[in-house]
């Protein structure tokens, strides 16, 4: 089963994108992650085919490193 979570962030710049993606890859190796920096909300997309995505945990992790991150709901 495929699960996708979409987050609004305040990430700016290539260095911060690389930092966040590296952190997520290290913590959640089964997830595919990417940013849409062209979107005004600087969208973070997290996808998993095998593991449950805990959106609140991702929010907390990124908030701990000073990144605003909020799940976008339908």
Tell me if 64 sits within 8 A of 56, measured CB to CB. no
Residue 22, SS3?
Answer: helix
User: For 15-32, what is the mean pLDDT?
Assistant: 96
Domain extents in the chain: 3-71
Q: Which CATH class is domain 3-71?
A: alpha beta
Q: What is the pLDDT confidence band of residue 73, given thresholds at 50, 70 and 90? A: confident
User: For 2-20, what is the mean pLDDT?
Assistant: 95
Residue 70 in this model has a pLDDT that exceeds 90? yes
Mean pLDDT in the chain?
A: 95
Cα–Cα distance for residue pair 58/40, rounded to 1 Å: 20
The pTM for the full model equals 0.92
Residue 42 in this model has a pLDDT that exceeds 80? yes
């Amino acid at each position: 089963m495929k699960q996708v979570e979409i987050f609004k962030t305040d990430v700016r710049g290539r260095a911060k994108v690389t930092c966040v993606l590296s952190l997520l890859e290290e913590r959640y190796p089964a997830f595919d992650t990417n940013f849409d920096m062209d979107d005004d909300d600087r969208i973070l997309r997290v996808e998993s085919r095998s593991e449950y995505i805990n959106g609140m945990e991702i929010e907390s992790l990124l908030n701990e490193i000073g990144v605003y991150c909020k799940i976008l709901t339908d």
